[in-house]
Structure 1
Amino acid sequence: MSQETCTLATQLIRGMGSFFKNCACSRQSRCSHPYAIRYRDATGRQREETGFTTQQTALDRLTKVYDEKRNTPRQQADLKHEIGKQRFGAYASTWLTRQRHYAAGSVRSVNQVLNSQVLPVLESRRINTFTSTVVEDFIMSMEEHSVGLAAQQNAFDTLKKILLDARRRGGISEDPFDGVVPPEYIPRKITIPTVDEIHALKAAGSDGLRVVIDLMSGCGCRNGESYAANLERMVADDVYRITEQIEGKTRTRARLKHRKVGEFRESPMPLTVRESLLRYAKDHGTDTRGYLLRTQRSAHWAHTTLEYQWNAAKKTAGISRRLTAYSLRHFFASNCLAKGIPVTDVAEWMGHKNINMTFKIYRHLMPASIGRAARLLNDGL
């Protein structure tokens, strides 16, 4: 800044800061350049903002900052300062321990994303040095290393959760994602099994696999939720209540994904699913708590159990398409949408965190929805 510009900076109350123009105009009071302000935040770090069209708007902003600083207790200011000085790696570790609503599988997924994409680049950076430029450089580094779009989006989402948490707690003063264009992963077209393929898999599979297939294709259950098949969850002849899942690696009971402990969701239960559960219970019995699926060595199924039985059934049924057990969830969604069931209901039954996920994955399964709407509206006119 030139000496002439500096002399035009207006000093206010001690500790409040100053406002000025960063231009070389001879009559700055009448030029169209914006005003800037300079002040020290609650942690003592100097800040500068610009883009104020008038002296009054600059003064109003300074006044607001000053009042916030005066009303921030010293202890709180020191805490914000300490958070800002932390290295990203250390902060990310403590952040993850505070996510008590995360299931064990979610914790593993976040750790995998951090260790493979985020920490190698950002682990040593101090929290208070993150800006939109740093975030954009991180995205560009992933592009330069040919990281897939799905992995890019997962890494970006994880980084955003952590940094916005740090900003909420005062470690970052400005939004480091302001103006940043995030990587966008467009899911590939999903593979949906046909009804004939589902029947062929059920005919070739074990009794336990048939229960899993029916719960996933008929009620929209996830893999782990199917492992927790239980007669007590049949709360009505046509309603199945999903209350928990079996963690696929440890074979332990866990809360539902995107749900707190004790929360549940309910899904419509077709007659074929009800009969499948009752038939299995009649032929094989249940344990003392009503659970159906178990192995010779364990009280519950695991991912390895399903993978082995699924691949064996595919081979016996002569199915060569790249179908996975999770494809059964796609069948459930497509079956619902093809019958005109609202996507909002489908999202709830499938346990998606928000409807955007459901819409992004299954939008193409609602063909000619605009044309159909036009015809319906025309009938009303």
Structure 2
Amino acid sequence: MKKLIFALLVSTISFSVFAADDAWWKKAGKPYKGTVLQGITENTPPGNFAASVLAKDFEKLTGIKVRLENTSWDAMYDKAIKDMEANSGIYDFVYIEQDIVYSYLDRDFLVNISKELASNPGLVAPGVSLDDFTTFIDYFKNGDGDVFGIPMEAFIKVYLYRKDLFEAADAKAAFRAQYGYGLAPATTFGQWRDNAEFFTGYCAKKGMQCWGTTVQGHTGHPASTYEFLESIAPSFGLYNWGVSKDYHSCVKNGGQLNGGRAKAALNFWTQLLPFAPPEALQSTWSEVGASFAAGRAAQGWVYGENAAWIATDAEKSAVVGKVGVTLPPTAEGVMQQAASGKGYIGYFDGGAYGIPHSSK
């Protein structure tokens, strides 16, 4: 039964369908009033919004309770996978990323949402259509084009920098004296490194707890791999993790992961560590956001989901009004490859909600 009720919840993920007729929601939810749906998601701004706003609005309209557990990325996957492997039915919907969805499909973890919606049209809110999603939803389809996950967030990394530091007159003068050119947000990797080195010293002289750059370098978490392969490497023109279409990573077999672009990207990235906050080697994407919000970095690659609150939420961020946003530096030819569709800047990733077969 809960698999059918999720068809109602699917409609809410567009974030706008509550504007539809309240009477429809009340009628559709009436047979299931009092039912509890248990979900799990990552503790991110979109996940928190789903739990604190959408779930409550959904319950008011339908009488169906939604308990959405917000937790860390690694705990989220650990709990969801163990639940689905054991067929214990703890979770009625789970968070999935494009990186893992095909592993889930291979193990037959997920319900075919397209078929469920087609079989229960009375539970699809007016105006809701899977065809209205961007092509990002294609990452959550099987070979037949059926949908197994409803996108609920997408994230890219942007270049954040501290406008107040970059615009400080004494910083501009000192930078030009030291490096021989003007201080500005970086458009080359060499300039990024110079900025990082400069602001680390500049802030230290002023007694500020601020360093020159962020580094998402947690050594015991996939976050460091993601930063290198999904943010740094593509900026150097190394795409798709350096792996060829026939799944080879070494140059001699058609891959690029040990090639010149990969080596240049790794050299650049690791050379930033002396100019990053001390917590860099324990930082996932969440800690990077927190570090920048606390004023502990002059520049950094920061996920867009964090950039918004860093720039606007004075209750959480100490740098509101001081944040600039621009594109990260790229190697020669990368922008042209991105424009032609042969490459990309950074890594467009995202998450969806899916229904486990184990849901009771």
Q: TM-score, normalised by structure 1?
A: 0.26
Largest Rg, 1 or 2: 1
Instruction: Tell me: higher relative CO, structure 1 or 2? Use CA pairs within 8 A at least 6 residues apart.
Output: 2
Q: TM-score, normalised by structure 2?
A: 0.27
